[in-house]
Amino acid sequence: MSEVLNIEKIGQIRGNVISEISKLRSKDEISNLRIKYLGRKGIVSKLLRSIHEIPIDQRKIFGQKLNILKEELELLFEEKSNEGFNEFDQFNKEKSLQDISLPGRKGIIGNLHPTSKVVREICKAFTPMGFQIVEGPEIELDKYNFELLNIPKDHPSRDMFDTFWVDWKNDKDEYPLLMRTHTSPMQARVMEGSIPPIRVLVPGKVFRYEATDASHEWHFFQVEGLAVDKGITFADLKGTVYEFARAIFGSERKIRFRCDYFPFVEPGVDVSIDCFICEGGGCRVCSKTGWIEIMGAGMVHPKVLSSVGYDPEIYSGFAFGMGVERIAMLKYGIEDIRLFYSNDLRFLKQF
Ligand code: PHE
């Protein structure tokens, strides 16, 4: 008589499956074990197929027991595969000694650089007045940085801007590329590409070939403003700058305009606010004058308007440009501009 007929075998098989199934770790392992017992050539399937070898009187009881076993095993496999074998479970089972409830290492949360903060504040002061924010290239053509701004080649006013030239010559043996010395080239670029009315604000990095000291850096940020339309007057410039000064330095601010020279504006001015530290009494920040210079400005020079194809008889405009770090230094009481870019976290973390 074959061992098939041994009724104890059924109980044994059941016990084996239960112990093997508890060790399974993945869906693949479950599927393999299932095939081993219930597959076409599986242990249980084979037994069922060989039932005819059993004497007729015992066949019924064997058949019943085998079928019950088969159903029970199906159920066990099913339950096991529903247990969930995602990566997390797997990880927990394999690395059960690792305590995943321990708090992780804290990531360092940075903050905006003070220059970025102030650029954003400046933009926020102008956008309600209808200024659009635009940006331009840091490597610029001589044409935009100087020529279209009424600063021809060999003109002494080029000395105002100590320039880093880019070491590249064109076929006319000229060096036409430079690191922009101010954001004003965007005046020409914007006007060239649009029809008035124009109201833009241009934040960006500029470069000057200068020795550094507490108030000079070789690279810094400026924000340029430009408005061009029919009938724009100096009063519009005054009102706009006044609004800005009050938004940034407090609603009590007064502003002062004095004549100054920039080749691309006429008249040109420098704009000061009354010293918000000593309220005009005279202190170190305002060099005892009671006034603090915050920007250069003026009415767009007719030559600049015509160089970009606008008729100065029809259109007029104003422009201004300010140094962002200077505004930040005034706002936060920073005494040395070199602190901005020396990457000292003790300084940077304070903002
Ligand atoms: N571009 C000038 C500078 O860098 C500032 C300025 C801008 C002056 C616009 C007048 C009008 O000094």
pTM for the predicted model, two decimal places: 0.71
Q: Is the CB of 300 under 6 A from ligand 1?
A: no
For residue 225, the ligand 1 atom closest to its alpha carbon is 9
Pocket flag, ligand 1, residue 298 (CB < 6 Å): yes
φ, ψ of residue 274 to 5 degrees: the values are -70, 145
Q: What is the pLDDT of residue 122?
A: 97
Tell me how far apart the alpha carbons of residues 95 and 140 are, in angstroms, rounded to a whole number.
59
Query: Does 182 share its domain with 280?
Result: yes
pLDDT in tens, 154-177: 898 888 899 999 999 999 999 999
In a domain, residue 106? The reply is no
Residues 264 and 178 in one domain: yes
Backbone conformation region of residue 182, classed left if phi is above 0, alpha if psi is from -120 to 50, else beta: beta
Same domain, 201 and 253: yes
Tell how far the Cα of 320 is from the centroid of ligand 1, in angstroms. Answer: 6
- 242 and 340 in a single domain? The answer is yes
320 C-beta closer than 6 A to ligand 1: yes
Domain C-terminal end among 93, 125, 160: 93
Q: Same structural domain for residues 80 and 125? A: no
Which two three-digit tokens encode residue 216?
A: 């000079």
pLDDT at 59 over 50: yes
Determine if ligand 1 sits within 6 Å of the CB of residue 146.
no
CA 234 – CA 255 distance, rounded (Å): 14
CA gap 222, 103 in Å, rounded: 44
**Is 273:294 a contact under the CB 8 Å cutoff?**
yes
Judge whether 104 lies within some domain.
no
In this structure, the answer to whether residues 256 and 328 fall within a common structural domain is yes
Residue nearest to atom 10 of ligand 1 (CA): 297
Query: pLDDT at residue 15 above 70?
Result: yes
Q: At what angle do helices 114-126 and 324-332 cross, to 10 degrees?
A: 100
Q: What is the Å distance from ligand 1's center to 181 Cα?
A: 10
Establish whether residue 185 lines the binding site of ligand 1, counting it when its CB lies within 6 angstroms of any ligand atom. no
Domain identity same for 126 and 266: yes
Atom of ligand 1 nearest to the CA of 183: 1
In short, whether 317's Cβ falls inside 6 Å of ligand 1 is no
Residue that is last in its domain, among 61, 93, 125: 93
Nearest atom of ligand 1 to the alpha carbon of 268: 10
**Residue 311 belongs to what domain range?**
115-348
Identify whether 110 is part of a domain: no
pLDDT tens by residue, 189-224: 999 999 999 999 999 999 999 999 998 999 999 999
CB 296 near ligand 1, within 6 Å: yes
Pairing of strands 255-260, 219-230: unpaired
Residues 175 and 274 grouped into a single domain: yes
Nearest atom in ligand 1 to the alpha carbon of residue 182 is 4
Give the pLDDT confidence of 247-306 residue by residue, as tens digits.
Answer: 999 998 899 999 999 999 999 999 999 988 888 788 888 889 999 999 999 999 999 999
Instruction: Using the 3D structure, point to which of 28, 63, 93 is the last residue of a domain.
Output: 93
Same domain flag for 68 and 138: no
Are 84 and 121 found together in one domain?
Answer: no
Instruction: Return the percentage of the chain with pLDDT > 90, whole number.
Output: 62
CA distance 276 to 339: 23
Asked if the structure places residue 99 within a domain, the reply is no
90 Cα–ligand 1 center, Å? 65
Question: Are residue 130 and residue 186 in the same domain, yes or no?
Answer: yes
Q: How many structural domains compose the chain?
A: 2
User: Would you say residue 100 lies in a domain?
Assistant: no
CATH number of the domain within which 328 lies: 3.30.930.10
Task: Assess if residue 297 is contained within a domain.
Answer: yes
- Please write down the HEC assignment for all residues of 232-275: CCHHHHHHHHHHHHHHHHCCCCCEEEEEECCCCEEEEEEEEEEC
Q: Is any ligand 1 atom within 6 A of the Cβ of residue 297?
A: yes
